[in-house]
Structure 1
Amino acid sequence: MRELIDRSIFDLFDGLFLNIQDLAGSFLADAQAVAAIAMLLYFAVEAYKMMVGDEQLRYMALFRPFALALVIIFWSGFVDVLNFPLTVVRDSAKGMYSEQIDQVDDMHLERVALIDSVAIKLSDSSADFEQVQAETRDKDWMEKMGIDLEPMFNKMKGYYLMLMAKMHFTMMRVVEYIVILIYQVCIYIIFFLQIIFAGILVILGPFAFALSILPGFRDSYLTWMGRYIAVGLYSTIAYIVMSISFVLVKYGLMKEIEILRAVLENEEMFLAYVSYPSGNISFYIVSLLIGGLAMLPIPVISTWIISTSGIGNAIGSMAGGAGKAMRKLSR
């Protein structure tokens, strides 16, 4: 049986996201070299300004390159610090998801069992049809013997309708399989994009901090931090969206389970369910499509929560306050 969602794959995605910094080692030495060159250029320019009297001695301006260099040196620890609040928020959202998925899985299993019962009933009806079809092969000699074939033909027409219903039922099961596949792809692709984006940011992030030493790229590290936090929220938002969409999915499952139970108990409803297209187009399929499509805007939604300018203003205020304190102490 195909699961609605593979839970173990989320643990794999979470583990990959939290251990991406292990891949940054190959570029870390290059970033440290760039940082060293940028520091030499920065100190040369600042020293010249102070020597000619254009600017006074500014402690924070001199400490800033050292702080950025320390971040590059202890890059893995810095990424772990950023991941800590992201992990806390993600675990809370994952708890909401876990409560919902247990109920959805139970209802999904019950629905699959009922559909299997419908399929078995259709198979039995098809077997009866094949038996009637074999009986009609001797039609010519039976007519010559004066045997009335009308009852048998009427019976065969009924089984023919049942066989067509089986074909239609099978087609709808294929459509349902495709919808579930689309739903899973929409979910898994968000987590995979999070790993890809976070991997690129972590591997090349030290260069952003190294270039931030130079005045022309002063805010590069702030942009990097904003984007990394936004990417880190993909999984949190995904769990929240899934938890909300599961409300629709549970409603669709509940309604379809009621219909399947009634179909198995009533022969006329059974024939109508498997014969007419409207009998298989359920809110369950619609809810899966809605839930899958709702996952796709998550990369955009994450930028609504964390903006680079907000981080820049916050860190700028902290740096300004520290600079004022240092100037007071120097006096």
Structure 2
Amino acid sequence: MDFSNLHTILRSLYDEMMPLCEDMTGVAQGIAGLGALFYVAYRIWQSLARAEPIEVFPLLRPFVIGFCIMFFPTVVLGTINSVMSPIVQGTAGMLEGQTLDMQKYREEKDRLEYEQMMRDPSTAYLVDDAEFDRQIDELGVTEVGTAAGMYIERGMYKMKKAISNFFRELLEMLFQAASLTIDTIRTFFLIVLAILGPISFALSVWDGFQNTLVQWICRYIQTYLWLPVADLFSTILAKIQVLMLQNDISELTNNPNA
């Protein structure tokens, strides 16, 4: 299963769903326009009733929000995604680097273990087919029991390696599946937030609903960071495996005949 391709499909899904934001823009503009009318009228009436000068700068807030609603996919979503995407790319690069290091050290460990077992005639036949065939040929007819024991030991060794590789690949697949699951849920939430974003911006024009703008931005950013956080956890786990492999390689290097 190509998990990277599935992540690419999720990103394409997000891009394909973004035009739906424009369908909500018209409704949001109506809500924001009516809210802006009450917002400006109420504050002008307050200033006139108190015989105070009218402050123009606070009255620009609904018009700025209306501008954001009109160009929501470009101004709002484009800006946030442009700022946050380097974080996603950075954590993905960290995870990829640790994964490559883990594969490199695993290959190094397997090579050192193979060389160590080949130096010992009592274990060389377990990892090398030619050595196994040579030792079998050297056994006489009266040593059938010894040959059978060698076949059993070789089979047990291969079974042990197969089980170890199976669980290793299973754990790696589970980590990748967990990351894909988080990315899927994250993408769905981001799509819903993006589609309903213009409505949240429009409601923030009304008095008493100003917090909807800040809450929407905070929730969108928090949801966007789900995947980088998952990549960081995976990076930490991969680093732990790298350190364990480095320790094993150090022991094999310092004790080649152990």
Q: TM-score, normalised by structure 1?
A: 0.55
Cα distance per residue 1:134-184 (max 9 Å; x no partner):
xxxxxxxxxxxxxxx974345434433443444444333332222111221
How far 1:223 sits from its partner (Å)? 1.1
Equivalence for 1:59: 56
Partner Cα distance (2:81, 2:169) in 1: 36
Equivalence for 1:213: 205
Which residue among 84, 94, 100 is the counterpart of 1:86?
84
Equivalence for 1:34: 31
Which residue among 217, 225, 228 is the counterpart of 2:217?
225
| Amino acid in the other structure paired with 2:174 | I
| Amino acid in the other structure paired with 1:183 | F
Contact (CA 8 Å) 1:18, 1:83: kept in 2 or not? no
Equivalence for 1:196: 188
How far 1:204 sits from its partner (Å)? 0.9
**Residues 53 and 86 of structure 1, relative CA distance in 2, 3 Å threshold:** same
How far 1:45 sits from its partner (Å)? 4.1
**Residues 102 and 123 of structure 1, relative CA distance in 2, 3 Å threshold:** closer
**Residues 20 and 250 of structure 1, relative CA distance in 2, 3 Å threshold:** farther
Contact (CA 8 Å) 2:175, 2:234: kept in 1 or not? no
Aligned pairs for 1:237-276 (under 5 A) are 237-255=229-247
How far 1:74 sits from its partner (Å)? 0.9
Aligned pairs for 1:158-169 (under 5 A) are 158-169=150-161
Contact (CA 8 Å) 1:20, 1:198: kept in 2 or not? no
Aligned: 1:152 with 2:152: no
Q: How many residues align?
A: 244
SS at structure 2 position matched to 1:216: coil
**Residues 176 and 245 of structure 1, relative CA distance in 2, 3 Å threshold:** closer
Deviates more, 1:240-249 or 1:65-74: 240-249
SS at structure 2 position matched to 1:213: coil
Aligned: 1:185 with 2:182: no
How far 1:222 sits from its partner (Å)? 0.8
Partner Cα distance (1:245, 1:167) in 2: 26
Equivalence for 1:69: 66
Equivalence for 1:290: none
**Residues 150 and 92 of structure 1, relative CA distance in 2, 3 Å threshold:** closer
Contact (CA 8 Å) 1:194, 1:234: kept in 2 or not? yes
| Amino acid in the other structure paired with 1:188 | L
Runs of 5+ unmatched residues, structure 2: 118-124
Partner Cα distance (2:109, 2:89) in 1: 30
Equivalence for 1:106: 104
| Amino acid in the other structure paired with 1:36 | G
SS at structure 1 position matched to 2:54: coil
**Residues 187 and 253 of structure 1, relative CA distance in 2, 3 Å threshold:** farther
